[in-house]
A and B are shown apart, each in its own frame.
Chain A
Amino acid sequence: MIFILLPFVEMFYASLRPLDHLFRSPYQFYSDDLSFWAYREMWNTVPMLPRYIFNSFFLASVTSIITLLFVIPAAYAYARFKFPFKNSSLYILLAINMFSGAVLLIPLYKVLRTFGLLNTYQAMIVPGVAFLIPTSIWLLKSYFEKIPIDLEEAAFVDGASRVQILRHIIAPLSTPGLVVVGIYAFIGSYAQQFLFAITFNQKKEYMPIPSGLYEFIGYTTVKWNEMMAASLVGIAPVLIIFLFLQKYIVAGLTSGAVKN
C-alpha cells in the first residue's frame, strides 16, 4: 500500500513546497511554508501548458470516438452472427494486443513521413486507434451478448431492418456498455500518447501533456515543485473518471480476460 501510494503522496507534497526547500540535502521531511504557489506559477513557467492539456483531451477524445465508430458494428457482428473464422479472428485480435507499438513504429514512421503527416494530430491518432480496437471489440461484444436476442427478433418480425434494430434497440440498451468502452478507450489513448508523441511529433503546438511536462526541466534547474503540480493536474481528469466508473471498467476487463 505504501509502495503504491508513496509516489503520489510525495508528488503532492513536493508540489506544495517551495523550490529551495526541495533543494536541501539530505531530504527534509518537514516544511513550514506549504502553499499552492506552484499551481499558479506553473502556468508562467510553461506558457503552453493549457495548450498541452487541450491537446491531450482533444487527442484522447477523437481517438476514442473513432475507435467506437469502428468497434460498434464489429462487436455487434461478433455478438450476433455465426461465421467462419469467428473464433480464430477473435484470438488474432487478442494477439494484436500483445504487439507493442515499438515493433510497428518503424514502418509507420516511414509512411507518415512519406505522406507528410509527421508532426500533426493525425500522426498520433491513427496508430492510437489501431491499438484500442482489439480490446474494445472484446469488451463491447460481451455487453452486446447480454442483450436478449428475443427483443431483436420481435422487432425483426415487425419489419424493422438491421440498421433500425441497431439504432433503436441495441444502441439504447447498450449505452452503459458503450460508456465503459468509450472511457476505456479514452484512458487508454490518454496513456499511450507519450510514445506516439515522442516518435511522430516534434511540434510544440501538438504536444500532449505527458511530453509537455518535460519543459519544466530547464537548462540549469528542474522546477520539481511545478512539474509535480502540473503532473497532478494532468493525472486528475483520468483519475476522477476512473474512480467514478472503476467498478464497471474492472468488471468488464476482468470478465473478458479471465473467464472469457
Chain B
Amino acid sequence: MAYALIAPAAIYIILIVAWPLLETIRLSFTNSSLAGEDYVGLENYQKMFSSKKFNGIVTRTFVWMFFSVSLKLIIGLIGAVLLNANLKGRSIFRVLVMPPWVVPIAIGMLGWLWLYNGYFGIIAGVGMRTGILDGPFGFLAYKQSAFISTIVADVWVGTPMVTVFFLAAMQGVPRDLYEAAYCDGASRWDRFFKITLPQITPVIITMSLLSAIWTFNSFEIIWILTEGGPRGSTTTLIIDTYKQALGNYKFGRGAARAVVVMILLMLFAGFYLALLARINKKISHG
C-alpha cells in the first residue's frame, strides 16, 4: 500500500534525477557532442585535471564560496538577533527582510545590473559624488571588483533565508533559561554567548552546510551579472560546467566537470545528513 502511493513520485524522481545522474557519469567517458559520441576513456578527466585553468576554477569556487557563506552567516546572525530583540515594528521588519529570497533570482539580478552600472548606477554615483571614485567605474568590468560584486549579490539573495532560520531557532530557545540567567544578573552579552549561541549551535552548523551547498550551486547570479567574466574571473565550477556543456555543446567535457561537481556535492550532502541524523538522535534521547 505504502509503496503504491509513493511509486509515482519515486519513479518520476528516478527518471528525471537518478537516471540523468548515471547518464552524466557515462557521458563523462565519451566525447559526446551534437555530432555523436565515442568512448574515450579517461581523456576528459586527464585533460581537465592537467589544465591550469580548471585548477584555478576549483580554487576560485572555494574562495568565492568561503566569503559568500561567511558573510551570509555573520549578517544572518546579526540580523536574527536584531529581529528577535524587543524592538518596535519588528514584525514588519521580519517580513521586510524576506523579498530577496522570494523574488525570482533572475529578476532581482536585473536590479543589481542597474546598481552596478559604471556610468549611471547609484553605487558608482555615490562613489563619484563623495570622491571615492574619480570617474565612472564598471563594477562588473574588472576582475577583482566583479568577483566582489557577484559575492555581494549572492549574499543579498542568500542572507534572508539564513536570517529566518536563525530567528526560528532563537525563538525556540526555552524562555526560562533567560529568566533564570536574568535573576542571576547575567548581562545581555552573557545571555547571548552563554545561552543563545550554544542553544542554536546545531542550527548554525546545519545552516552553514546548507548554505555552502546552495552557494556552491549558485548559477543564475553569476551567469546574469557576468557570465563568468571578465576573463574568467568569476567562473566557478557550476558556470564552467554549464559553459562547456551547453555553451559549446561539448557534452562529454561538460559531463566530466559535472561529475566533479556531483562528487563534491555528495561529500557535502553526506556531511549534512550525518550531522542531521546525529542532531535528531540527540533530540530524541533528551
Interface residues of A, Cβ cutoff 8 Å to B: 1, 3-8, 10-11, 14, 22-29, 69-71, 73-74, 76-78, 80-81, 83, 89, 91, 93-96, 98-111, 126-127, 129-130, 133-134, 137, 162, 187, 190-191, 193-195, 199, 209-211, 213, 224, 227-228, 231, 234-235, 238-239, 242-243, 246, 250, 254-255, 257-260
Query: Which residues of A have CB within 8 Å of B23?
Result: 106-107, 110
Query: Which residues of A have CB within 8 Å of B203?
Result: 258
Residue of A4, A89, A109, A210 near B104 (CB, 8 A) is A210
The yes or no answer to B110 lying at the interface (CB within 8 A) is yes
Query: Which residues of A have CB within 8 Å of B128?
Result: 25-27
Contact A103 to B125, CB < 8 A, known contacts A133-B12, A191-B105, A254-B164: no
Contact A137 to B24, CB < 8 A, known contacts A1-B97, A98-B213, A108-B16: no
Contact with A along B265-286 (1 / 0, CB 8 A): 1101100110011011001000
Main secondary structure of the interface of A (DSSP, over half): helix
Residue of B17, B27, B258, B262 near A130 (CB, 8 A) is B17
Interface residues of B, Cβ cutoff 8 Å to A: 1-3, 5-6, 8-10, 12-13, 16-17, 19-21, 23-24, 27, 32, 75, 93, 95-100, 102-108, 110-112, 114-115, 117, 119-122, 124-126, 128-129, 136, 156, 159-160, 164-165, 168-169, 172, 203, 206, 210, 213, 217, 219-220, 238, 241-242, 245-246, 251, 254-255, 258, 261-262, 265-266, 268-269, 272-273, 276-277, 279-280, 283
Main secondary structure of the interface of B (DSSP, over half): helix
Whether B9 and A74, one on each chain, are in contact in the complex, defined by CB atoms closer than 8 angstroms, is yes
Which 6 pairs across A and B sit closest by C-beta, in order of nearness? A27-B125, A100-B217, A130-B16, A210-B106, A194-B106, A81-B2
